[in-house]
């Protein structure tokens, strides 16, 4: 086999092996390291990778497979550190052709170094490194079509027929850099999206209401911490489950599904507010007040629904209990054998029961909201005692157990009553007085 042909086969096989090694790498620096590692293992070929500065005026060696011993000898003679050395493109016509004009250039190492150092020093450097008359091929490295640096490959023997092989390796490196850059950008975007999602999830988790998102088929795509707590399930037990089949009372499945799908298909308007029940993990129902809004994609098409829900179970139970308590109080209030007058702390009449109305002859509408001193119920001689009785109760906090009073009804007839007072407090402060009245006219007369 012709030696030159054999050399060509060898370099093709070697560069293809390097290309295979870097295939699928998704990191720029790792790509350069692998190329350098493969060349470092070769006893025949060496290579360096140089990258352009941002202003495209200089090149820096980022990786080199030149043996460290030879590199050190060159640095000692030239008085430089190759890892920190920048090639000024104004001084290197060779590298300008490669990185500014995109040419494949075949030169000798002597010519490259000869442009960068005074000729005597350049000769000493190549001699110290053992690279006199060593041929090199330089090819541009690109990223998304833009030249970002150069691949410098050298060997004991290189000819112009090897140029396509070196160019192909540079192109494989460039293609790997394209993929790595796209991956990095995609990863950065994914990380930014994930960070934004996590930040939004934190906002949702600190809110005091349930947040639930459904897709167009009714599956849960998002739920916050309050939603999980209310339902008694973990997030993983809720996500991707059908909301209607899994978390609503069975008797409501068909009705609410139909409403939902009509809204998703925009056959019906969305109910922005409504109250319905959910079923928890322990099969208990909770009443939720929902606020809803449609989710749309960039084209305006409906892609789901976002719901915020407040658990109002306790509030409804408390309102029901309060109503029952009020009804019970009203029954006791109206059916009591004694008259009962409820006054605020200023003496205004808030309520009177039927017994008082029968005793004094006033209708309820005649007395509610008026001060009890406005009615001529008391004889002038008794007024100081009445005022003291009220003031002792409200201001001094000293309710009276029993007091006998002579009063007048609406028609001016005299009535003897026995009265006692009871303080009404709210949040520890007196808000009014209950006056319990009993007609003792017959007994007093006897």
CATH code, domain with 62: 3.30.450.40
Instruction: Note whether 310 and 354 are same-domain residues.
Output: no
Q: Is 298 helix (H, G, I), strand (E, B) or coil?
A: coil
Angle at 248 (CA atoms; ends 244, 254), nearest 5 degrees = 55
Measure CA 285 to chain center: 29
pTM: 0.53
In a domain, 192, yes or no: no
pLDDT of residue 237: 95
The reply to whether 200 falls in a domain is no
Strand-pairing partners, residue 247, are none
- Judge whether 189 lies within some domain: no
The DSSP code sequence of 238-267 is: HTTSBHHHHHS-GGGHHHHHHHHHHHHTTS
Q: Please report whether residue 193 resides in a domain.
A: no
- For residue 190, being part of any structural domain is answered with no
Domain-located, residue 149 = yes
Count structural domains, the chain: 3
25 with 165, same domain? Answer: yes
Q: Residues 263, 351: one domain?
A: no
Given the structure tokens 């000692």, which residue do they identify?
Answer: 76
* pLDDT value at residue 98: 94
Q: Say if residue 340 is in the same domain as residue 311.
A: no
CA distances from 136 to 20, 78, 154 (A): 23, 20, 4
pLDDT of residue 399: 67
Check whether residue 165 and residue 82 sit in a common domain: yes
Say whether both 291 and 341 belong to one domain.
no
Angle formed by the axes of helices 163-206 and 3-22, nearest 10° = 0
DSSP letters for 269-285: ---SEEEEEEE-TTS-E
Alpha carbon separation from 79 to 19, 85, 395 (Å, rounded) = 35, 11, 100
Contacts of 192 (CB under 8 A, 6+ apart): none
Q: Name the DSSP letter for residue 165.
A: H
Whether residues 365 and 246 share a domain: the answer is: no
**Burial class for 374, CB neighbours closer than 10 Å (0-12, 13-18, 19+):** exposed
Residue 381 lies in a domain: yes
Return the CATH number at 258: 3.30.450.20
Mean pLDDT per 10-residue segment, the chain (446 residues) = 72 90 91 93 90 93 91 88 88 93 92 90 90 91 94 80 88 93 89 79 77 94 92 95 94 90 91 90 93 90 92 87 78 83 87 87 88 78 75 72 81 86 81 86 63
Same domain, 421 and 362: yes
349 lies in the same domain as 276: no
Same domain, 358 and 290: no
Token pair belonging to 357? 């109305």
Give the range of the structural domain holding residue 219, as residue numbers without chain letter: 207-316
Task: Judge if 273 and 362 occupy the same domain.
Answer: no
**pLDDT of 431:** 84
Q: Is residue 30 part of a domain?
A: yes
Q: Which residues, 6+ apart, have CB-to-CB distance to 272 below 8 Å?
A: 291, 292, 293
Q: State the alpha helices, DSSP H only, in 207-233.
A: 225-231
**Radius of gyration, CA atoms only, the chain:** 47
What tokens were used for 247?
Answer: 């978390």
User: How many angstroms separate the CA atoms of 102 and 110, rounded?
Assistant: 22
Both 245 and 278 in one domain: the answer is: yes
């Amino acid at each position: 086999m012709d030696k030159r042909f054999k050399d060509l086969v060898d370099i093709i096989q070697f560069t293809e092996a390097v290309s295979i090694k870097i295939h699928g790498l998704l990191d720029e620096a790792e790509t350069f390291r692998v190329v350098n590692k493969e060349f470092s293992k070769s006893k025949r070929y060496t290579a360096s990778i140089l990258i352009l500065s941002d202003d495209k005026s200089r090149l820096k060696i980022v990786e080199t497979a030149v043996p460290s011993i030879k590199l050190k000898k060159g640095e000692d003679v030239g008085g430089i550190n190759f890892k920190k050395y920048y090639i000024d493109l104004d001084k290197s016509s060779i590298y300008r052709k490669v990185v500014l004009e995109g040419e494949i250039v075949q030169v000798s190492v002597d010519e490259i170094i000869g442009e960068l150092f005074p000729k005597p020093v350049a000769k000493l450097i190549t001699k110290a490194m053992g690279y006199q008359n060593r041929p090199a091929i330089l090819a541009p490295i690109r990223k998304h079509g833009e030249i970002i640096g150069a691949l410098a490959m050298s060997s004991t023997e290189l000819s112009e027929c090897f140029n396509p092989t070196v160019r192909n390796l540079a192109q494989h490196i460039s293609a790997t850099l394209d993929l790595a850059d796209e991956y990095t950008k995609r990863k950065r975007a994914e990380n930014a999206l994930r960070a934004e999602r996590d930040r939004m999830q934190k906002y949702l988790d600190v809110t005091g209401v349930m947040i639930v998102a459904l897709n167009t088929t009714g599956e849960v795509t998002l739920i916050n911490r309050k939603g999980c707590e209310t339902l008694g399930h973990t997030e993983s037990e809720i996500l991707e489950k059908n909301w209607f089949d899994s978390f609503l009372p069975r008797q409501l499945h068909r009705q609410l599904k139909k409403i939902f799908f009509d809204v998703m298909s925009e056959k019906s308007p969305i109910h922005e507010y409504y109250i319905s029940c959910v079923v928890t993990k322990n099969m208990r129902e909770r009443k939720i007040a929902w606020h809803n809004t449609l989710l749309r994609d960039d084209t305006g098409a409906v892609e789901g629904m976002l719901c915020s829900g407040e658990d109002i179970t306790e509030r409804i139970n408390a309102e029901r209990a309060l109503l029952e308590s009020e009804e019970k109080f009203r029954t006791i209030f109206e059916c009591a054998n004694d008259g009962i007058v409820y006054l605020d702390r200023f003496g205004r009449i808030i309520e009177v029961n039927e017994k008082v109305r029968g005793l004094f002859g006033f209708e309820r509408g005649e007395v509610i909201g008026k001060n009890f001193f406005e009615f001529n119920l008391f004889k002038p001689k008794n007024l100081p005692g009445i005022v003291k009785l009220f003031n002792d109760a409200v201001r001094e906090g000293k309710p009276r157990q029993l007091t006998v009073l002579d009063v007048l009804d609406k028609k001016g007839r005299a009535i003897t009553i026995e009265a006692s007072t009871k303080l009404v407090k709210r949040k520890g402060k007196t808000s009014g007085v209950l006056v319990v009245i009993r007609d003792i006219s017959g007994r007093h007369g006897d």
